[in-house]
Amino acid sequence: MEEREGEVRWDGLCSRDAASRAAALDNIGQAVLRRSETIAPVATVPLSRAADGPLVPAARDGLSEVLARLLMLSKRCPFPDVREKSEAILSRVQELGIRIPRPLGHGPSRFIPEKETIQVGNEDAMMHALFAESFATLGRLDNVTLVMVFHPQYLESFLKTQHYLLQMDGPLPLHYRHYIGIMAAARHQCSYLVNLHVNDFLHVGGDPKWLNGLENAPQKLQNLGELNKMLAHRPWLITKEHIEQLLKTEENSWSLAELIHAVVLLTHYHSLASFTFGCGISPEIDCEGGHTFRPPSVSNYCICDITNGYHGVDEIHTSPTGSIPVSICLIKSTESVCEVEALMEKMKQLQECRDEEEASQEEMATRFEREKRESMFVCSSEDEESAPTRDVSRHFEDTSYGYKDFSRHGMHVPTFRVQDYSWEDHGYSLVNRLYPDVGQLLDEKFHIAYNLTYNTMAMHKDVDTSMLRRAIWNYIHCMFGIRYDDYDYGEINQLLDRSFKVYIKTVVCTPEKTTKRMYDSFWRQFEHSEKVHVNLLLVEARMQAELLYALRAITRYMT
C-alpha cells in the first residue's frame, strides 16, 4: 500500500511507460501472493473448493487494504494492462482460499445511473489523455473526475489548477496543503474528500497525530479555523481585522503569500464539497463505504460474478416491470417536456423585453434587494436522509457554526457591489502578485465554467443559454449579497423555479443536506450532463463569492 509498508510499492503504476508498469505489477503480484500464502488455509486449494468452502478473511498484515487498492485499480485505472493484471492478482488470491473484496454501489455517482457515465476503458482519446494525466498525478482516477468528464474542457482546467495548488511550488509545505483541504471539507462533513486527503496527507509525510483533532495540529493551522468557518458559512462577516490577526500573531503568523495560498485552498475545497454532494459522488472503491468483503446476499449466481463485482441489482433497477405504471411515467415525461418549452418561451420573452425597454437603476436595485430577501425563505422541506457520512468534526472547531441568512434576527449585511470590488479588476491581480500563476489558472477556470455551452437544452439544439447561465451565477452571488449593477434580478424569478432554487441553495450553502430527490426534482427532462454543468456553475460561483470577500478584506488590510 503506502511506501512505508516496505513491501507493496504502487508508484511505478503511475508511469506512462508500459515496461515500468509491468515491472511494478510483477513486484506487487509477488508481494501480495507472499502475504496471501502466509494466511491461506491450503496454498493450492482449487478455485471450486475455495468457492464452496469458507473463505479466509484478509484482515491480517494490512492485506485487506492492499486487496481493496487492487480492486480499485481493476475497475478505475486508465491503463488496460494495470486493470487486467490487478484482476488476475485478485483471482489468484481468491484461488488460495482468501476472501477478496467487491465494489459497493453502482458507479461514481449515487444520482446518475452507471450506464449513463463514462466507463473506464470506453473513453475517447481526449478523455483518455485526461484520465491518464489524473492517474499519473494523483495515483488514482477518482469519482469526481469520472463525473466531471461529462465536460472535458472544464475538467482539464480543474485538474491543472488543483495539481498546481497541491503539488507545484508554492508558499505552503505539501502536508499543510492537504491538512487545509481536510479542514475545509470537514466544515461540510464531506467524508469523501476528508478520506482522500487523509491518505494524501500521510503519503507526503504528515504527522498522524494531527488527524486526531485540530487541537493536535500546529497553532498556526489552528488559527486558520476561524477564517475557515466564516468562509464556508458566512463569508460576508470577514473583515481586515480577521486578516490582521493571522498576519500579526508573532511566532505563529502567516505571511501574505501563505495566506493567499490557504484562502484559495479553503475556497477550492468548500466548493468541491458542494460538487461532491450536489452530484451524489460515491465513496472511492478502495475507501470506507466503497467495497465490502462480505459475500453478496443474492445466492443464485456464480463465483465469477462475485469476482467481477456484479451484484445482481442493476437488473432489478432497469427491469421493465417496475412498480411505476407506464401511464404515470408518460404523464411525468409530458410535464417535463412542457417545463422545457415553458422555460425557453420565458427566455425568448425576456430577451424581447430587454430589447424594448431597460429598467431604471433604482428599479434594478429594488429588484436585487427583493431577490436577496426572498432567497432567505428558500429552504427545503425534505425529510429524506442525505448521504451518510462518518463524523469528521474533529478536524474543525465550533461544530454549531453554520450558514445563516443575511437578515435573520435583524442583522443587516451591506450589499457587496461588484463595481466596487471585482475578481477581474481587483482579486485576480492580488492573487497573481502573491501566488504567481494561480490568478491566471483560477481566471481560466471561472471563464470556462461561466461560458461553457453546447447550445442545447434537453432535446433542443441551437439554443442560446447565456441568459440562463447568467441567472444561475447571479442568483448564487445574490445569496451571498453580491450585486451586479447592470443585471435585472427580476429575470431570476422568471427562469429559476422553486425546486431549482431549493437545489441551488442547498448545494451552495448546506451541501451536506442535498438529497437525490432534490437532484431529481429540477429540470426533469434535462440530461445528467446538463445537471453536472449546473454544478460546475455552482462550484465556481461559490468559490468566486468566497474569494471576493476574503480578498477584499486582505486588500483593505494592505491599504
Structural element, H or E, at residue 135: helix 125-138
- DSSP codes joined into one string, 397-423: S-TT-----TTGGG-----EETTTS-I
Q: Using CA atoms, how far apart are residues 102 and 297, in angstroms rounded to an integer?
A: 13
Instruction: Write the burial class of residue 435 (CB in 10 Å: 0-12 exposed, 13-18 middle, 19+ buried).
Output: buried
Q: Using CA atoms, how far apart are residues 472 and 301, in angstroms rounded to an integer?
A: 48
Per-residue CA distances from 119 to 149, 412, 517 (Å): 11, 49, 25
Cell of 538: 455552482
Secondary structure of residue 531 in the 3-state scheme: helix
* Torsion sign over Cα 379, 384, 386, 390: positive
Picking from 262, 258, 255, the residue whose alpha carbon sits closest to that of residue 180 is 262
Question: 322: number of CA atoms within 13 Å, CB side?
Answer: 13
Q: Catalytic one among 14, 77, 190, 279? A: 190
- List CB contacts of 376: < 8 A, sequence separation 6 or more: 405, 406, 407, 408
Q: Is 302 a catalytic residue?
A: no
Q: Are strands 456-457 and 416-417 parallel, antiparallel or unpaired?
A: unpaired
Where helices occur in 377-497 by DSSP H, the ranges are 428-434, 438-451, 466-479, 490-495
Where helices occur in 297-325 by DSSP H, the ranges are 303-307, 314-317
Radius of gyration of the chain (CA): 25
Catalytic positions = 190
